[in-house]
Amino acid sequence: MKKALSTPNKLLLMVSPFVVFAFVFHYLPLAGWYFAFVDYQPGSSPTEMPFVGLKWFRALISSQEQVHTILRVLANTLGMSFLGIASSILPLIFAIFLYELRSSKLRRFVQTVSTAPNFVSWVLVYALVFAFLSVDNGVVNNVLTRMGVISAPINFLISSDHLWIKMTLLGIWKGLGWSAIMYLAAINGIDQEQYEAAAIDGAGRFKQTLHVTVPGLMPTFFVLLLLAIANIINTGMDQYFVFSNAMTADSIEVLDLYTYNTGIVSGNFSFATVVSILKTVVSLALLFSVNRISKSVRGESIF
Amino acid sequence: MQSNGTATPGATGIRLGRRGLLKICGGVAAGALASPLLSACGKSASSASSGGGGATAEVSIFTESATYEGKLDGYVGKWFKDKVNTEVSVVPNSVGGTSRFATRLSTGNLGDLIVFTGVDDLKQALNANLLLDLSTKEKELPNLFRFKDAIARVKKVYDGKVMAMPSAVCLDSVISKTDPVVVPSMRYDYYKELGSPAIKDYWSYAQVAEQMVAAHPTTENGSKFYGLSLFSQWDSTNATQLRTISQSMGWTGNDGVNAYKFIDIDPLGKRTQVLIEEGSIYLQSLKWANGFYRKGLLDPDSATQTWDDYLKKAQKGQSALWVFGYTGDLNFNPANPDLTAAGKGYKRISNDSMKAADPMTSTFGSSWYWAVTKKAKDLDGTLKLLNFLYSDEGGFGFEMGPEGVLWKRNSEGIPTLTELGKQDWSAAIPADLGGGKKSDTFKSRVNGPTLDQAWPNPTYKIPANYQVWTDYLTSNASALDKQWTQDHGGALNMKELLVKNNQLAAFKPKDVPAVSYDDQLKVVANQVGNAIKQYSWKMIYASDDATFDSLKNEMVSKAQGLGLDKCVDFEKKTAQTFFDAS
Amino acid sequence: MTIPTTTSAVPPIQNADKLLVASEPAKKARHRLRRAPRHIAPMEQRSTGEKVFQVFNVVVLVLFAFVCLYPFYYIFINTISSNQLSASGKILFWPREIHFTNYAEIFQIPDIWHAFLVSIERTVIGTGLTVICSAFLGFMMTQRKMRYRTFVYRFFVATMYVSAGVVPVYLLFNYIGLLDNFLVYVLPGMVSAFYIVLVKTFIESSIPETLQEAAEIDGAGTMSLFFRIMLPLMGPILATLAIFTAVGQWNSFMDTVIYVTRSDLQTLQYILYRYLTQSTALANSINAGGGSMTEISNTTQTAQSVQLTVTMVAVLPIFMVYPFMQRYFVKGITIGAVKG
């Protein structure tokens, strides 16, 4: 028997338990997508729930106003996702800068400290930002008025000017150090001989970085980029929820927040399921088309 | 379900928590009136008798209205152990805002007793065939079945069965003694400095506030003093604080059973008003707040500050007027004993047109329910506990616990606070009384009131809510309180004054069915509400009349485009049922 | 209702690691790497431009470090200053009226130490399982000879984007007995597509294929190739996985919220989180109802001081363990020292 298995089959057999595992934990529950087509009633068996066809899909776009809202929400989602993706090069640069630091103590210190914001929940981030930016006694307003830069305090949090950029900057502050860890690992994986060879060729520090470090990081960067693009409509909502107020809502409401505001907040599982389905479909479509593009442009597919 | 990668505790949770809370608060605030609990059966014997011999029962309560999880210990735990030989554990529905009801219900894992905060989840539990019909247990539950109106109400809905017991029941409708939230508090000493001017109507508070700020640009500790400060964190479908102003004119958004998102009702005049219809009180309220903004009197952080930030301002006394009256007298005053001793601080100030809508105690109970599950492991123990909770004694102890810890009866048999009862809520309870902290109350941990807290308990003659006890109001009075009482013909609180001056629009809750939007309309209602909420705040911050009006028009057309009319029709129908009920 | 947890550009991290406690081959690999000196450029080659860059670099990174560190400092001084002062926003740069009652209060929560143990267990076991599975699968996905490899790989990758919602998963876990079971903490995250992708990418870009071919020619089986040859060379990526997973496991509370009722399975984060929301809840409902909690005295918990203290208590253990794991990916460093 043993002999009968060729190497390709043997390898497949070795991963098959994990395939089954992933199927059970990730794909089996998708049977629950059925809830999108019924009026969901917890505790009843699925057969007892009234079948309503596409009612919940239509609920998304049932009026002119709603279509406008959805479009605006999509614009916010895509806009901020795009800025996020555009800034995804920063952790890579940060990792290189860190790597180029000469003092190893300072390097460790900066690396450790830069991951700290990742551990502060968005609720607390808002509390901190508010403490600094509030009109009433906020430090920033106090300093600016005292220095005469502004004549009257400004309510920064209420302004929707450059909101996407402000949100992106906050996201960078919170995630930069943490995301850089992956690149630091990749730098450490770069073969030392490459540097030596470059040095022998007379490459200075800068050229070594450009011709050895950067290319060494590219595979990781591209993979993460692809994953991020497929995730473009999954922004999460924590950050946007806490910074959302009446003045900023129009520019900050992303798809996840919108779903929360309209469906989840009132416990509507059928509606929430519809959104899950749509998001899954869009993400997978993006993932595989980006992959195809990568194949034709870079000559190699990632997945 | 994936565990939340990098978030620290607190992230999503709090946020949702606030929403949930909001509801709780809304419940509590709107209804100091609907408040529950005290009460009575003629035979307090039934409650007082102990569990007797036998093994200690273990009963778990799944509650939708509290967040404590674990055993009920401390002095309240001892109370249940002594009285009904039961150990109670509590499982909250919401942990940090994540409701566990739907998931738990899908496998029927909801404990022995459930506290429902509305009919939506109750209906789902019924669909899932999880609840026990209490009418089969009438003998074991005499304390529940003495509330005939409440029982009749559920029997009517469930074909003669008692699938759940309304919370906050009582035997007769009376006016509560709690101050209505809507009577604002203002700096009383500043008000007197101005010569205690007459205030024509609600909108006239603005002039008084303006004069106060002119005379006192900063507070005692040097912070800026605003005319009006608001917060938006609890808003769901409108600017909540401003919406409550209509309550001072006899309108309300809650009839005691059902809450309205888009209309106000006048329970006595049987009228309805759409929040955003031309000339509505809500629109006038927005205009009023906008007036503060345009004069530079509105706290500019109003739209962005959280409830926590708002409370900090309250404790510093940074606003001449607080729309939720308790924000001044119950937050600032206790935090500034030195000032109140000098006669300075916030007191409720009424106006000449005041007609505060105020629900009376309800013999039908509130929109919250207690239910027993069919899966109760120790059914006898569970029923015994529930029966005790609905006794006079059990109901009275909702917040104040057993006799002899926080309160005792005086020579006339009337409850008065003990020394322990007068202390801060963080005070420790001596071990021989059961231990724990004073704040480990049934209210804080389960929050399922059985008897209406505002209803004079037959056994003890006074309501369970200690804040209206004469003993408490007199022994706890500061120089400021005494001054106010002296200026107001001896009235101990605002409620007493309103009743005396016929400024209260007290209405009786009625036996109407609890209704809720169907799932699809709920989605629409949320969208409409979001639009109204956002435009409301933009209007508050409008720079001139033209902007205000054009925002208003946009709000109306957007709300209508999203389906406002459907929601309004639905709510008007609900209101009509309420008006028509006897 | 739960908010759908979504993956953002920053990975949703789940679990891995006792590899860090280092198997023999891993240790050897590390030595090997350490022995190899990194770009030792002769001194004289350092140009002015490079010197200027160094100065610039130090300034920028130190500034950024400050921006990252200050909020933590702010949180810390607010947890040990008078709650009253903290609540009125007066604590910005120096602690005042120092006290530790906030911390004392948190450590008095019943069962908190037991919960601490559960947290450690799930972190260690969960991290170990995830790292080993991800490393193995990531490696297998580089085996071009495997039948249906592309399909299998895509099958894994797609799991990152499919979501069924919380109820179906709850029903599934009920059916397979994961509710109220310790395994619910460590199994669901065991096969993590994101980590598989990271490992595969690392192997393909950092470990020469010739090494594998040589091993195969020597007659090594797939398993021995993985454990003897590959694993020791994967130090940096394993450390990354381990830190991501461990932090994810440590911080996780949603699974306890949804799938666990047994009190002996509650984790530290769950208790802190619940405690935190509970006190806010209590404060809010009482305040709204009429005010008993408003009598806030000097050391009475105010909502914010609890939030801040909980954050410190939750995060400090991470920062105590972090430097040990950090060595694995900020290690190249010794070389910097040589150079400078």
CB interface of B with A, residues 167-226, below 8 Å = 223-224
For residue B530, give both structure tokens.
């979001």
Give the Cα-Cα-Cα angle B295, B299, B300 (nearest 5 degrees): 90
- Which fold would CATH assign to domain B11-173+363-464? D-Maltodextrin-Binding Protein; domain 2 (3.40.190)
Q: How much is the average pLDDT of C189-215?
A: 90
Among A10, A178, A191, beta carbon nearest to C10: A178
Q: How far is A147 from chain B (nearest CA, A)?
A: 19
Domain housing A230: 65-121+165-296
Given this model, what pLDDT does residue C38 score? Answer: 47
Q: How much is the average pLDDT of B29-53?
A: 36
Confidence of residue A82 (pLDDT cuts 50, 70, 90): very high
Minimum Cα–Cα distance from C172: chain A residue: A29
Q: How far is B445 from chain C (nearest CA, A)?
A: 9
For residue A99, give both structure tokens.
């790597």
Is A200 an interface residue toward C (CB < 8 Å)? no
Within a domain: residue A151?
no
Query: At A87, which CATH number?
Result: 1.10.3720.10
pLDDT digits (tens, 9 = 90+) for B549-563: 999 999 999 999 999
Question: What's the domain count of chain C?
Answer: 1
Give the Cα-Cα-Cα angle C200, C204, C207 (nearest 5 degrees): 115
Cβ neighbours for B582, distance < 8 A, ≥ 6 positions apart? B510, B511
pLDDT digits (tens, 9 = 90+) for C209-260: 888 888 888 888 888 889 988 998 888 899 889 999 998 899 888 889 889 8
Given this model, what pLDDT does residue B53 score? Answer: 54
Q: Would the CB atoms of C281 and B67 count as touching at under 8 Å? A: yes
Name the residue with tokens 């009652």: C101
The answer to whether residue C146 scores a pLDDT higher than 50 is yes
Q: How far is C139 from chain A (nearest CA, A)?
A: 11
Minimum Cα–Cα distance from B109: chain C residue: C261
Q: Which of A2, A24, A93, A113 to mutate to test the interface with C (most CBs of C within 10 A)?
A: A113
A259 phi, psi to nearest 5 deg = -60, -45
Q: How far is A199 from chain B (nearest CA, A)?
A: 40
Given this model, what pLDDT does residue B96 score? Answer: 64
pLDDT digits (tens, 9 = 90+) for B420-466: 988 877 788 999 999 988 888 998 888 889 999 999 999 999 999 88
Q: How much is the average pLDDT of A208-227?
A: 89
Given this model, what pLDDT does residue A81 score? Answer: 93
**Average pLDDT over all residues of chain B:** 86
Minimum Cα–Cα distance from A237: chain C residue: C3
Q: Would the CB atoms of A188 and C329 count as touching at under 8 Å? A: yes
Within a domain: residue A269?
yes
Q: How far is A257 from chain B (nearest CA, A)?
A: 12
Name the neighbours of C, counting chains with at least 3 Cβ pairs within 8 A. Answer: A, B
Q: Would the CB atoms of C67 and A121 count as touching at under 8 Å? A: no
Within a domain: residue C82?
no
Given this model, what pLDDT does residue A263 score? Answer: 62
Is B308 an interface residue toward C (CB < 8 Å)? yes
- Beta-carbon pairs below 8 A across chains B and C: 204
Q: How far is C340 from chain A (nearest CA, A)?
A: 6
Chain C residues inside the 8 Å CB shell of A30: 162, 164, 168
Q: Would the CB atoms of B103 and C167 count as touching at under 8 Å? A: yes
Q: Would the CB atoms of A136 and B101 count as touching at under 8 Å? A: no
Q: Would the CB atoms of A241 and B125 count as touching at under 8 Å? A: no
Write the CA distances from B99 to B92, B94, B344, C173, integer angstroms.
Answer: 9, 5, 44, 18
Strand pairing class (B185-187; B86-92): unpaired
Is B99 an interface residue toward A (CB < 8 Å)? yes
Q: Say what the ipTM of the complex is.
A: 0.86
Among A11, A25, A139, beta carbon nearest to C147: A11
Given this model, what pLDDT does residue A104 score? Answer: 80
Q: Would the CB atoms of C187 and A25 count as touching at under 8 Å? A: yes
pLDDT digits (tens, 9 = 90+) for B359-404: 999 999 888 899 999 999 999 999 999 999 999 999 999 989 999 9
The answer to whether residue B578 scores a pLDDT higher than 90 is yes
Q: Would the CB atoms of C165 and A29 count as touching at under 8 Å? A: yes
Contact C312, C102 (CB under 8 A): no
Within a domain: residue A182?
yes
Which of helix, strand or coil describes residue B348? strand
Query: At C119, which CATH number?
Result: 1.10.3720.10
Within a domain: residue A140?
no
pLDDT digits (tens, 9 = 90+) for B158-172: 999 999 999 999 999
Q: Would the CB atoms of A186 and C205 count as touching at under 8 Å? A: yes
Is A239 an interface residue toward C (CB < 8 Å)? no
Among C292, C307, C311, beta carbon nearest to B425: C292
Minimum Cα–Cα distance from A61: chain B residue: B562
Q: Which of C2, C3, C308 to mutate to test the interface with A (most CBs of A within 10 A)?
A: C3
Chain C residues inside the 8 Å CB shell of A27: 159, 162
Is A271 an interface residue toward B (CB < 8 Å)? yes
Is B268 an interface residue toward C (CB < 8 Å)? no
Confidence of residue C93 (pLDDT cuts 50, 70, 90): confident
Q: Would the CB atoms of C197 and A26 count as touching at under 8 Å? A: no
Given this model, what pLDDT does residue B2 score? Answer: 36
Q: How much is the average pLDDT of B220-238?
A: 88
Within a domain: residue A56?
no
Alpha-carbon distance of B389 to B144, in angstroms, equals 9
Q: Would the CB atoms of B14 and C89 count as touching at under 8 Å? A: no
Among C254, C287, C292, beta carbon nearest to B3: C254
Alpha-carbon distance of B288 to B300, in angstroms, equals 15
Helices A64-86 + A163-189 axis angle, to 10: 40
Given this model, what pLDDT does residue A123 score? Answer: 74
Among C280, C291, C315, beta carbon nearest to B8: C315
Minimum Cα–Cα distance from A70: chain B residue: B527
Among C169, C189, C277, beta carbon nearest to B67: C277
Given this model, what pLDDT does residue A294 score? Answer: 84
Confidence of residue C88 (pLDDT cuts 50, 70, 90): low
The answer to whether residue C297 scores a pLDDT higher than 80 is no
Q: Is B208 exposed, middle or buried (0-12, 13-18, 19+ CB in 10 A)?
A: buried
Confidence of residue B41 (pLDDT cuts 50, 70, 90): very low
pTM here is 0.80
Confidence of residue C331 (pLDDT cuts 50, 70, 90): low
Question: What's the domain count of chain A?
Answer: 1
Is B136 an interface residue toward A (CB < 8 Å)? no
CB interface of A with B, residues 165-224, below 8 Å = 178
Given this model, what pLDDT does residue B193 score? Answer: 96
Q: How far is A134 from chain B (nearest CA, A)?
A: 6
Domain housing C157: 19-39+108-333
CATH 3.40.190.10 occupies which residues in chain B?
11-173+363-464
Confidence of residue B26 (pLDDT cuts 50, 70, 90): very low
Q: How far is B295 from chain A (nearest CA, A)?
A: 14
How many Å is the Cα radius of gyration of chain C?
24
Given this model, what pLDDT does residue A265 score? Answer: 59
Q: Would the CB atoms of B534 and A59 count as touching at under 8 Å? A: no
The answer to whether residue A89 scores a pLDDT higher than 90 is yes
Alpha-carbon distance of C78 to C91, in angstroms, equals 6
pLDDT digits (tens, 9 = 90+) for A98-115: 988 888 888 888 988 898
pLDDT digits (tens, 9 = 90+) for C53-75: 888 999 999 999 998 988 888 88
Chain A residues inside the 8 Å CB shell of C259: none
What DSSP line would sit under chain A, residue for residue?
-GGG--HHHHHHHHHHHHHHHHIIIIIGGGGGGGGGGB---TTS-GGGSPB-TTHHHHHTTSSHHHHHHHHHHHHHHHHHHHHHHHGGGHHHHHHHHHHH-S-HHHHHHHHHHHTGGGGS-HHHHHHHHHHHH-TTT-HHHHHHHHHTS-SS---GGG--TTHHHHHHHHHHHHHHHHHHHHHHHHHHHS-HHHHHHHHHTT--HHHHIIIIIHHHHHHHHHHHHHHHHHTTT---SHHHHHH--TTTHHHH--HHHHHHHHTGGGT-HHHHHHHHHHHHHHHHHHHHHHHHHHHHHHS----
- What would be the CATH architecture of the domain defined by B185-360+468-507? 3-Layer(aba) Sandwich (3.40)
Q: Would the CB atoms of B306 and A126 count as touching at under 8 Å? A: yes
Highest mean pLDDT among A166-175, A243-252, B40-49, C329-338: A166-175
pLDDT digits (tens, 9 = 90+) for C157-186: 999 998 887 778 888 998 899 999 999 999
Given this model, what pLDDT does residue C36 score? Answer: 40
Q: Would the CB atoms of C10 and A182 count as touching at under 8 Å? A: no
For residue C1, give both structure tokens.
């209702």
pLDDT digits (tens, 9 = 90+) for C17-62: 333 333 444 444 444 444 344 444 444 456 787 788 888 999 999 9
Minimum Cα–Cα distance from B326: chain C residue: C290
Looking from the CA of C34 toward its CB, the CA atoms found within 13 Å total 14
**Average pLDDT over all residues of chain C:** 75
Confidence of residue A266 (pLDDT cuts 50, 70, 90): low
pLDDT digits (tens, 9 = 90+) for A172-190: 999 999 999 989 888 888 8
Task: Determine which of A128-137, B259-268, B399-408, B537-546 has the lowest per-residue pLDDT on average.
Answer: A128-137
DSSP class of residue C37 equals -
Q: Which of A44, A47, A65, A125 to mutate to test the interface with B (most CBs of B within 10 A)?
A: A65
What is the percent of chain B where pLDDT is above 70? 90
